[in-house]
């Protein structure tokens, strides 16, 4: 079974190939994705990949894996978009670095690690 970050890559890839980019798609920068229609995403796409169609469960997964929501607090990007320093279009290999946070108080965030990652700086 795929982990959530790899599955999310698959969802975005499938949406692109199946003409469902009006529901979810990568933004042109390739470093953010956007859910354009949350209702369609929950009812037509989520059941294909998850055991439920509860959009709030999907949002919780994004949060647990430290995805940042755009147009919220200090996060750049359009409203309804999400990003993570190791979630980049065409770079499924980096998804292994998208780690689920168990305790936010004791773990350095992915965003802190990314600032020091030479490989990421070269992308």
Burial class (CB in 10 A: 0-12, 13-18, 19+), 110: buried
pLDDT attached to residue 72: 53
Neighbour tally for 19: CB within 10 Å? 8
Please tell me the predicted confidence (pLDDT) of residue 11: 98
Question: Which pLDDT value is given to residue 1?
Answer: 80
- More confidently predicted of 39 and 120: 39
6: region left, alpha or beta (phi > 0 left; psi from -120 to 50 alpha): alpha
**Model confidence at 27: pLDDT above 70:** yes
Tokens found for residue 45: 């796409």
Confidence of residue 31 (pLDDT cuts 50, 70, 90): very high
């Amino acid at each position: 079974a795929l982990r959530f970050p790899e599955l999310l890559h698959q969802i975005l890839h499938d949406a692109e190939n199946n003409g469902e980019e009006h529901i979810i798609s990568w933004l042109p920068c390739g470093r953010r994705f956007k859910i354009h229609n949350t209702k369609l995403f929950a009812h037509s796409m989520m059941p294909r990949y998850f055991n439920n169609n509860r959009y709030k469960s999907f949002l919780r997964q994004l949060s647990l894996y430290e995805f940042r929501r755009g147009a919220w607090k200090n996060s750049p990007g359009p409203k309804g978009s999400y990003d993570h320093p190791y979630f980049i279009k065409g770079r499924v290999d980096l998804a292994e670095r998208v780690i689920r946070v168990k305790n936010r108080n004791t773990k350095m965030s992915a965003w802190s690690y990314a600032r020091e990652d030479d490989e990421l700086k070269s992308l």
